[in-house]
Chains A and B, each alone.
Chain A
Amino acid sequence: MKRTVAEINQRIKDGDVVVMTAEEVVSYVQSEGVERAAKEVDVVTTGTFGAMCSSGAFLNFGHSEPPIRMQRVTLNDVPAYAGLAAVDAYIGATELRQDGREEYGGAHVIEELVAGRAVRLRASSSGTDCYPRKEIDTYVSLNTMNQAYLFNPRNSYQNYASGTNSSERTLYTYMGKLLPNYGNITYSSAGQLSPLLNDPTLRTIGIGTRLFLGGGTGYVAWEGTQFKTNVETRFGVPMGGARSLATIGDMRGMSPEFIRAVALTGYGVSLAIGIGVPIPILDEEVMRSCAISDEQLFSPLVDYSVQSRNRRPIKHFSYAELRSGKVELFGREVRTSSLSSYLKARQVAETLAERIEGGEFLLTEPVAPLPADRGVGTLEVRSKEEAV
C-alpha cells in the first residue's frame, strides 16, 4: 500500500478523507491489523499540550508620530528584546516582569494578547535624527499590531525524562514540585498521542510541515534547538529527549484554550502550548509507527537533587505505568503527576482531525528534511583558542 500527500489532499477536498487520532488508531490497529488500518486510514492526528519554555513572539508595533527607534521595550512591565529594527521586538516566554516576581512573565503577555486583551507598551530610546522620539507609553493588542507571530526555537520534544527527588527537602523545578525522599514522580509527555513519538525518525515531518499551533495554524520552521538523533531506542522510539521542532505561526487565530501561561514555583514562568501534527499514512510502516501505545513508550527517571547535567537515569518507566497514577520505586509505591495535559492533548488531536475532515486543513510535504544525524554539544569554559 502506497499513498501520497497529494492523493490525501484530494480526498480532503472531496470530503472522503479518513482521519483517526493517534490514540484511536492504537486499538484499531490491534483489532484490524496494520495492513487493513493503513488501507482504511489516510491521516493520523497527534497532539500535545505542555510547558514549552523555548517559545516567544515577534511583534511589530507600527510607527508612532513622531517615530521612535525603540531600544528598551516592556510589555506589561515584562522586558522584550528590541535589538532589531525600530519597532520590532521579541518577547520570550520565560522573561519575568521587572519586579522579578515569578507570577507574571512573557508567557502571560502572550496569553493576554492571544485572548484579545490590550497590553501596555512602554519604550524608550536615545533619539536619532531619523527617529527623534525618546519615549512612548501606550497600549497595543493583536488588532493594533502589524505582525504578531510565535516563533518558538524548541517545541514538542520527542520524549522527556521524568523527575524525582532523593533529597530531604522539597525541590521546586521546571518539572514541578518534587517531594522529598522520592515522594513523587513528575513526567511531561502526551505519550502515544505525542507528535514526534508517532513518527520517530521524522519520515513525514520536516521544514514547512503545516501543524496545529496554539489553536491556530503554524509550520515547522527549522529543527528545534538541541535536536539530536543519537539516543537509545526501544520499539524504534527514543527513550529520552531527542528530536524537537522550531515552530512558527500567526497569533491571530490562536486561542487561550491552547496557549496558557504557567508559573512553576521556584523556577519561573513558562508557556503551555497545544501542538498537533498530522501524519499522512504513506504506507504500512508509517501506520505501524502511529500505532505505538503508552505500554511501548518509555521515559527515563532522573533525580533532580543531583545538580549536574550528567544525571544518570535511575530507571525507565513506560507512559502506561506513569499514567496509572503510581509506580513502584525501590520497593515503595510512589505517586505520579503529569505536567502536560492529556485531556488537552486529546482535544488538540481531535480538533485537528475535525479541521482535516472539514476540508479546512490540508497536509504538506516537507520542503526539506530535518537532520538525520545530529548530536548535542555541551558548554565548557574555554579559551578563545580552544573554542575554534
Chain B
Amino acid sequence: MAKRKFLLGFSPDLVNEAIVYRLVKDYDLKINILRAEVREQGGRLLMEVEGKAGNIKEAVRYLNEARVEVQELATYVEKNEERCTHCGMCLSICPVEALTVERPSWRVRYDAERCIACGMCIDACPPGAMKFRL
C-alpha cells in the first residue's frame, strides 16, 4: 500500500463532478481530505491518498483526463532551521502534533509526514520559521 499527498485544482465547471466518489469507487483508494475550498476561480482540494501503487497511478491518469490539475506534494509546510529559535510557540497551535519538542534538549522538531497543511503554525511562529510551500 502506498500513501501520497496531492493538491487538486478544479476549474469552475468541474466543481460539481463527484471526483472523490470516483477515486474511492473505481480505484479503491482511501482518501483523507485535509483542506477543501471553492472560490470564484474554481476549487482546490488537498488530500492524502492511500491505496495500491498501481491504482493511484491509474487514478492520476483519470484525473488528468478529467482536466483536474494534479500536483503531488511531499511537504506542505517547511520549517527554516536557521530561523527557528526553538521557543515552542507552535506546540500548542499544531492540531496534529506535527511539531513537538524533544527533551531534554528542548529542540523543536517538525514531522512533515504528520502535517495536515492547516497553516495555523505559520502566523503563530514569532521568528517566521514556518512557511507554506503551496
> Do residues A265 and B124 form an inter-chain contact, with CB atoms below 8 A?
yes
> Do residues A336 and B91 form an inter-chain contact, with CB atoms below 8 A?
yes
Query: A342 vs B86: C-alpha distance in the bound complex, in angstroms?
Result: 8
> Do residues B86 and A185 form an inter-chain contact, with CB atoms below 8 A?
no
Closest chain-A Cβ to B15's Cβ sits at a distance in Å of 29
> Do residues B127 and A340 form an inter-chain contact, with CB atoms below 8 A?
no
Q: Cβ of B75: which chain A residues have Cβ within 8 Å of it?
A: none
Give residues of chain A (227-275) contacting chain B, Cβ–Cβ below 8 Å.
260-265, 270, 272
B43 within 8 A of A: no
Query: A121 vs B107: C-alpha distance in the bound complex, in angstroms?
Result: 37
* Closest B residue by C-beta to A265: B123
Closest chain-B Cβ to A80's Cβ sits at a distance in Å of 22
Interface centre among B90, B101, B126 (most CB of A within 10 A): B126
* Closest B residue by C-beta to A183: B92
Q: Cβ of A154: which chain B residues have Cβ within 8 Å of it?
A: none
> Do residues B93 and A179 form an inter-chain contact, with CB atoms below 8 A?
yes
> Do residues B127 and A260 form an inter-chain contact, with CB atoms below 8 A?
yes
Give residues of chain B (35-63) contacting chain A, Cβ–Cβ below 8 Å.
none
Closest chain-B Cβ to A172's Cβ sits at a distance in Å of 8
Query: A344 vs B101: C-alpha distance in the bound complex, in angstroms?
Result: 14
> Do residues A179 and B86 form an inter-chain contact, with CB atoms below 8 A?
no
> Do residues A343 and B106 form an inter-chain contact, with CB atoms below 8 A?
yes
**Which of B90, B101, B124, B127 makes the CB contact (< 8 A) with A272?**
B127
Interface centre among B87, B92, B93, B127 (most CB of A within 10 A): B87
> Do residues B105 and A343 form an inter-chain contact, with CB atoms below 8 A?
yes
Chain B binding site: helix, strand, loop or mixed by DSSP? loop
A186 within 8 A of B: yes
> Do residues A49 and B85 form an inter-chain contact, with CB atoms below 8 A?
yes
> Do residues A272 and B93 form an inter-chain contact, with CB atoms below 8 A?
no
Contact flags A127-148 to B (C-beta < 8 A → 1, else 0): 0000000000000000000000
Give residues of chain B (69-108) contacting chain A, Cβ–Cβ below 8 Å.
85-93, 101, 105-107
A325 within 8 A of B: yes
Interface centre among A184, A261, A342 (most CB of B within 10 A): A342
Closest chain-B Cβ to A169's Cβ sits at a distance in Å of 14
Give residues of chain A (264-289) contacting chain B, Cβ–Cβ below 8 Å.
264-265, 270, 272
B12 within 8 A of A: no
If A177-B123, A272-B127, A343-B107 touch, does A337 touch B89 (CB 8 Å cutoff)? yes
Q: Cβ of B126: which chain A residues have Cβ within 8 Å of it?
A: 51, 176, 262-264, 270, 272, 339
> Do residues B93 and A337 form an inter-chain contact, with CB atoms below 8 A?
yes
Query: A160 vs B127: C-alpha distance in the bound complex, in angstroms?
Result: 20
> Do residues A341 and B88 form an inter-chain contact, with CB atoms below 8 A?
yes
> Do residues B85 and A186 form an inter-chain contact, with CB atoms below 8 A?
no
Q: Cβ of B105: which chain A residues have Cβ within 8 Å of it?
A: 343
> Do residues A186 and B89 form an inter-chain contact, with CB atoms below 8 A?
yes
Q: Cβ of A344: which chain B residues have Cβ within 8 Å of it?
A: 85-87
Contact flags A73-112 to B (C-beta < 8 A → 1, else 0): 0000000000000000000000000000001000000000
Closest chain-B Cβ to A263's Cβ sits at a distance in Å of 6
Contact flags A338-378 to B (C-beta < 8 A → 1, else 0): 11111110100000000000000000000000000000000
**Which of A179, A185, A336, A341 makes the CB contact (< 8 A) with B106?**
A341
Query: A132 vs B101: C-alpha distance in the bound complex, in angstroms?
Result: 58
Q: Other CB < 8 Å A-B pairs besides A179-B93, A265-B124, A342-B106, 9 of them? A: A177-B124, A262-B128, A272-B126, A325-B91, A337-B88, A338-B89, A338-B91, A343-B107, A344-B87
Pick 26 A–B contacts, CB within 8 A, sort by A.
A103-B128, A172-B123, A176-B126, A177-B93, A177-B120, A186-B89, A186-B92, A261-B127, A262-B126, A262-B127, A262-B128, A263-B128, A264-B126, A265-B124, A270-B126, A272-B126, A334-B92, A337-B91, A337-B93, A338-B87, A338-B88, A338-B91, A339-B126, A341-B85, A342-B88, A342-B106
Chain B residues at the A interface, C-beta cutoff of 8 Å: 85-93, 101, 105-107, 120, 123-124, 126-128
A-B pairs, 5 with minimum CB distance: A262-B126, A184-B92, A335-B92, A177-B124, A343-B106
